[in-house]
Amino acid sequence: MAGNSFGQIFRITTYGESHGIGIGVIIDGCPAGLEILEHDIQMELNRRKPGQSDIVSPRKEMDKCQILSGVHNGFSMGSPIHIFVPNDDARPEEYSDIANVFRPSHADFTYFSKYGVQGVSGGGRSSARETIARVAGGAVAKALLKRHNIKMAAYVSQVGKIKIPPDTKIDTSLIENNSVRCPDQKTAEEMIQYINHLKENGDSTGGVISCVIENCPIGLGEPVFDKLHADLGKAMLSINAVKAFELGSGFAGVEMKGSEHNDVFITEGQEVLTKTNYSGGIQGGITNGMPILFRVGFKPVSTISKPQDTIDHDGKNAIVQAKGRHDPCVVPRAVPIVEAMAALVLADHLLRAKISKL
Amino acid sequence: MAGNSFGQIFRITTYGESHGIGIGVIIDGCPAGLEILEHDIQMELNRRKPGQSDIVSPRKEMDKCQILSGVHNGFSMGSPIHIFVPNDDARPEEYSDIANVFRPSHADFTYFSKYGVQGVSGGGRSSARETIARVAGGAVAKALLKRHNIKMAAYVSQVGKIKIPPDTKIDTSLIENNSVRCPDQKTAEEMIQYINHLKENGDSTGGVISCVIENCPIGLGEPVFDKLHADLGKAMLSINAVKAFELGSGFAGVEMKGSEHNDVFITEGQEVLTKTNYSGGIQGGITNGMPILFRVGFKPVSTISKPQDTIDHDGKNAIVQAKGRHDPCVVPRAVPIVEAMAALVLADHLLRAKISKL
Amino acid sequence: MAGNSFGQIFRITTYGESHGIGIGVIIDGCPAGLEILEHDIQMELNRRKPGQSDIVSPRKEMDKCQILSGVHNGFSMGSPIHIFVPNDDARPEEYSDIANVFRPSHADFTYFSKYGVQGVSGGGRSSARETIARVAGGAVAKALLKRHNIKMAAYVSQVGKIKIPPDTKIDTSLIENNSVRCPDQKTAEEMIQYINHLKENGDSTGGVISCVIENCPIGLGEPVFDKLHADLGKAMLSINAVKAFELGSGFAGVEMKGSEHNDVFITEGQEVLTKTNYSGGIQGGITNGMPILFRVGFKPVSTISKPQDTIDHDGKNAIVQAKGRHDPCVVPRAVPIVEAMAALVLADHLLRAKISKL
Amino acid sequence: MAGNSFGQIFRITTYGESHGIGIGVIIDGCPAGLEILEHDIQMELNRRKPGQSDIVSPRKEMDKCQILSGVHNGFSMGSPIHIFVPNDDARPEEYSDIANVFRPSHADFTYFSKYGVQGVSGGGRSSARETIARVAGGAVAKALLKRHNIKMAAYVSQVGKIKIPPDTKIDTSLIENNSVRCPDQKTAEEMIQYINHLKENGDSTGGVISCVIENCPIGLGEPVFDKLHADLGKAMLSINAVKAFELGSGFAGVEMKGSEHNDVFITEGQEVLTKTNYSGGIQGGITNGMPILFRVGFKPVSTISKPQDTIDHDGKNAIVQAKGRHDPCVVPRAVPIVEAMAALVLADHLLRAKISKL
């Protein structure tokens, strides 16, 4: 009910506050016999952590994971898998002077209203550190997808107004070649320049992450409320700062005619394909074997160094100015988070699909 | 697991195939003592049903609801509420010649692959008739919201490329004044003209529904996975033909700077407000008391009268041409469905919020 | 939350009040491709219904089931299966003079306190008619068990103080040979005589139902909270009038020593067996392949024709005397209910076991 | 699905293997603002841990709890509460020579069959160490019950054949006065003597724990599947070694007549009581305000020092003889476990009852 669990069969439960002792995830429902390596989980966490490059927060967090249960000799045992990441380099003093004000477009006001208590400094559960647990859980989900040869890649396709030009052919092997995680090198350079400009001005911007999932089995997703893209949408919208989600043709598809938008079935050998893929790989909520394509819109980061008007807990006018070491644009570090959440949705539906028919 | 239920505390389970005996919904978790009138449910169903106007499907479906349990003398008893809507005017013969082909961008292929059985004619659970159960369940949710003085209105803001002009002041009392459910009369007329044009050409188009929810209590929504807008997003994306969802500033907000996008807190008497509402009424997943604003993108209707290439169950080339009496644009009839799903999400979170603090 | 659903994957939701329009069950999560015959469901309902013999309630209820969704040409489609049983021969007038009093050991007082409303006459959801939905859902579960060759038989082993003598060899093929459903004919006759005696005196008694499940696959049940016998226990204790449950050696095993009680493993060909079966076929919450054995204790029926002291809604003293046509002993009719609930638990765990390992 | 969570609203998820790094529990759904003291949790863990007295296992486990999240300055914040208990004094070498055999009446065989992997030594998740997580979670539940003035006490009422004499007046304040946790001192002494006798002989016995819960609000429990005693029954049956559960009159009530067994309603001032309490405080699955009374039957401990016949993983005959430091009778240490599980059920239903009516 309190919403700290995600998934039906392959199910994670997360805990931990930003500036508390640590962050963790319990993965329940992972089948026994899956190879799970701490190293693979750590690699994903490293992609998420701050301090990777000039354009992200310079905080030095180790984000070192520990598997505390559920894995024996590198294989899952069928029991709950607990991955713990201790907090370090916490500097709660950076938050002391904002303890009594509501930061604009942050969750301070809503948390305070809902729970009657201010969380620990740094945002408590609303901090982006919470996503560590998602990435760790997602790494285990990825291990399951790997066994099914499912391939997933997310990348930054837009920062502010800078977008990869339409009809650019995406080569997902280039994503990690630059610090902004945009596979189009020219666009990436413009993005980095823009982010650095904002950083100098104490401001921030939003961005879009695109995700492509290939080689997904036909038949994943449930037809009514748990349509695969409905679960993907919820997964993405639950990530901090996400405001928008679209599958396949998305909002642009609205303007098309049915005769243009319909994806015509064709065969290629034994395989059934569609000529176009406006459906984004999902029809009636269920995968059709074509690549799953979706886009996720992130708002500009709320924490900025510029002074801002606000009010305090007593409703009095106040000024807030962040001193923390924050990101001017969240999307480069959000790429592994988007992948993690997508992997969790797919892992869950892979297991759910096992019981659809006799 | 099979995804026919929605909600955690205020929870619906739906059943019924398009051309079977009927469609129904069980609402479990509705508190005892709520006034529930068959008339109110019927009013919502009437807004959804075909044959209301020239621009929608001319099928004559009565969609007459019956409350079979859970309500006594007009009030909920705390037991499960069952609302049943018999099917009538079913003409399965209209589907006989498509029984063996996969209609483009329909769920025929994915269902067949997933279950190994073709549903009954007319799409089975993937038919839009399934949404009858959502509207009936949503009508009960609306009764609960009404007790909390929450006001909700959805309307058509775009059909094809025709949009309500930016900065138009929306008067939600005008929504039902035209058959397309667009509160801007001039835009509505253009939309109707365009839909009629498509109808004559046997084609279809998509559209956008906007929704505004006012007077919502502060504190609804759970902070991590069950953020209110994540649940709203899932709810919307689970509706047939929906491909996109955005909250507040949505994809457009991506291009803004943090210093522009942040919603500054102000006070008005005892009340805390924000100067702007790019957040769309939700911060950190939790309502802040400002209006909730979201937009839902619908793809063009897949069923068109134009002949289309496809394949049959044996993978052989085939031609499909719809003879059914279908909508050229789904959004006017989808307005009550969007409202129903939003009401279900809010009713659930209203009850969940009761247990957030002592 | 309101507790009208049971099961995780193979999941039923029930609705309907005793003297309302009817009783029904939605089965969600039944795999596609299972043969489901209305006739088989009806057979189970016939075993439950009143009026079967002299020793049960003489009410004439048809309890005629209708499959309203989810089954096509005799096979499940993967969509929710709805089975409806209309109420008939309802005589609410029989309850009119008890509308304002709390019947001793009935749920009148607790319902009234919990919901603030009196259910419809005849007990609403607390009536034993609610178990119709369980038996109908259980019949579908039995169809799934049948495909796995699992054999289940419940029988009456005790009525009042009359028990099948210890060490009697049970022949489950004899259960349906007498109206009390006791496979030991001599004991059955004593039971019937005792029940008839109570009936004449307007009194009632309790009883015990024993259940044996053979040929169950090894590995069903989850090791911690959802141990198979914990789920069986909950299933049984949720049946009206049940007060006690024991697995295998049960309360009697308490008095044994470990060296006597431990079930020694042996092999018989390739098969692993245990010499004794005090474990009742379940070890660590998981089936070991030996027969599952459990016993369920039912209290004496609360509704008796003798006048009883009680109080009314205003707390004033009152006398209550049942005029309805009730059972002096519930266990003969409860046999199919026990089987249905056991079948639901097993069907659910059969599907859950599919995802335990890769 | 994998059954490591318990509860609907007040919900725990547990993890950890017996001889791994530690055992823990996540409590999700605890309302914000509840006072939670590490000291109170530790007190409960101390009641459970080995080495307390002569009659229990002499293992020296510290079982020192750490609250890792969800609590700030001694009060719950509404976020998930994580309590961790590191393992220490693990001696896996004690288990090395049983790694390849199936211990009689243990979960070795069923786990091996279900997961295809042997857990870590000492039983993995099937070890009684798993109950640490239950006791820690239950301690938080008890804090919630305390705010509602609910009083709970469990005690040992039977060990082997030694029982508290019928009609003994129970003074729950005496429970902790002896090492067997039996409030009747004379019976306690006999029990201790018997346990010591078994210990010397390398054997074990079973026992019964009785529980009484006073001052429980009227209206807890859901009427159909989630009857309060059904959830209590499941909770108890999920504890290691439990084989039997009964509420109120239980199996003994089976032999009574309705006219004897019915609990007649009376009033005492404004309060509604019943003359007798064969119902055990629950009617129709819902509390009626009378004390909740139930009994739980534990089988003899499976681990004994006597040599026993068994088979190994290859099906060959083998002898097993425990060298671990185990309990000859589990019930004295199981008293806090029974209380913890009962507290979890009640805390959950206290919160669920908040949403039963408007």
Q: Is the confidence metric ipTM above 0.90 for this complex?
A: yes
Q: Check residue A89 and give its pLDDT.
A: 60
Minimal C-alpha gap between A5 and chain C (Å): 16
Residue A155 CA to residue A150 CA, distance in Å, equals 17
Predicted confidence pLDDT, tens digits, chain B (358 residues): 899 999 999 999 999 998 789 999 999 999 999 999 999 999 999 999 988 888 888 877 889 999 999 999 999 999 999 999 999 865 555 556 667 899 999 999 999 999 987 554 445 788 889 999 999 999 999 999 999 999 999 999 999 999 999 999 999 999 999 999 999 999 999 999 999 999 999 999 999 999 999 999 999 999 999 999 999 999 999 999 999 999 999 999 999 999 999 999 999 999 999 999 999 999 999 999 999 999 999 999 999 999 999 999 889 999 998 876 788 999 999 999 999 999 999 999 999 999 999 8
Residue C335 CA to residue C338 CA, distance in Å, equals 5
Residue A347 CA to residue A349 CA, distance in Å, equals 6
Instruction: Tell me which chain C residues have a C-beta less than 8 angstroms from the C-beta of A32.
Output: 356-358
Q: Check residue D55 and give its pLDDT.
A: 85
Residue ranges for chain D with pLDDT beneath 50 = 120-122
Instruction: State both tokens at B59.
Output: 């099928």
Check CB contact under 8 Å for A115 and D68. no
Q: Sheet of A22-28: strands edge to edge?
A: A5-6, A11-15, A22-28, A81-86, A66-69
Least CA distance to B293: which residue of chain A? A243
Range list of H helices, C312-356: 331-353
Check CB contact under 8 Å for A4 and D79. yes
Distances in Å between the Cα of B331 and the Cα atoms of B182, B243, B273, B299, B338 are 10, 13, 32, 10, 10
Least CA distance to C113: which residue of chain B? B32
Residue D32: which of A13, A33, A116 has the nearest Cβ?
Answer: A116
Residue D127 CA to residue D136 CA, distance in Å, equals 16
Whether C9 has its CB under 8 Å from any CB of chain A: the answer is: yes
Residue ranges for chain C with pLDDT beneath 70 = 89-98, 118-123, 324
Chains with 3 or more CB pairs under 8 A to chain B: A, C, D
Instruction: Tell me which chain D residues have a C-beta less than 8 angstroms from the C-beta of A82.
Output: 15-16, 24
Whether B326 has its CB under 8 Å from any CB of chain A: the answer is: no
Minimal C-alpha gap between A37 and chain B (Å): 26
List, in sequence order, every residue forming a beta bridge with C207; answer none if it has no partner: C159, C298
Whether C285 has its CB under 8 Å from any CB of chain D: the answer is: yes
Instruction: Tell me which chain A residues have a C-beta less than 8 angstroms from the C-beta of D124.
Output: 77, 79
Predicted confidence pLDDT, tens digits, chain A (358 residues): 899 999 999 999 999 998 789 999 999 999 999 999 999 999 999 999 988 888 888 877 889 999 999 999 999 999 999 999 999 865 555 556 667 889 999 999 999 999 987 554 445 788 889 999 999 999 999 999 999 999 999 999 999 999 999 999 999 999 999 999 999 999 999 999 999 999 999 999 999 999 999 999 999 999 999 999 999 999 999 999 999 999 999 999 999 999 999 999 999 999 999 999 999 999 999 999 999 999 999 999 999 999 999 999 889 999 998 876 788 999 999 999 999 999 999 999 999 999 999 8
CA dihedral B355, C3, C8, C11 (to 10 degrees): -140
Helix axis angle for A228-237 and B228-237, nearest 10°, is: 160
Q: Which of residues 52-91 of D touch B (CB under 8 A)?
A: 78-79
Interface with A, mutate which of C75, C222, C357 (most A CBs under 10 A): C357
State whether residue D343 is helix, strand or coil.
helix
The string of pLDDT tens digits covering residues A139-185 is: 999 999 999 999 999 999 999 999 999 999 999 999 999 999 999 99
Check CB contact under 8 Å for A258 and B204. yes
DSSP labels for B133-152? HHHHHHHHHHHHHHHTT-EE
State whether residue B251 is helix, strand or coil.
helix
Residue D328 CA to residue D319 CA, distance in Å, equals 20
Q: Which of residues 121-150 of A touch C (CB under 8 A)?
A: 147
Residue A77: which of D28, D81, D115 has the nearest Cβ?
Answer: D115
Q: Check residue B122 and give its pLDDT.
A: 46
With CA atoms as reference, report the closest residue to C334 among C157, C198, C215. Answer: C157
Whether A35 has its CB under 8 Å from any CB of chain C: the answer is: no
Side-chain-facing half-sphere of C38: CA atoms under 13 Å:
15
Q: Check residue B20 and give its pLDDT.
A: 85
State whether residue D209 is helix, strand or coil.
strand
Minimal C-alpha gap between B31 and chain D (Å): 4
Domains parsed from chain B with CATH numbers: 5-352 (3.60.150.10)
Instruction: State both tokens at A305.
Output: 């160094």
The string of pLDDT tens digits covering residues B90-138 is: 555 555 666 789 999 999 999 999 998 755 444 578 888 999 999 999 9
Asked if residues D227 and D293 have their Cβ atoms less than 8 Å apart, the reply is no
The string of pLDDT tens digits covering residues A174-228 is: 999 999 999 999 999 999 999 999 999 999 999 999 999 999 999 999 999 999 9
Residue D1 CA to residue C351 CA, distance in Å, equals 10
Instruction: Tell me which chain B residues have a C-beta less than 8 angstroms from the C-beta of D141.
Output: none
Q: Check residue B121 and give its pLDDT.
A: 45
Residue C249 CA to residue C259 CA, distance in Å, equals 14
Question: Which residues have a Cβ under 8 Å from the Cβ of D155 and sit 6 or more positions away?
Answer: D170, D172, D175, D181, D182, D183, D209, D210, D211, D335
Check CB contact under 8 Å for B21 and C68. yes
Residue C16 CA to residue C124 CA, distance in Å, equals 8
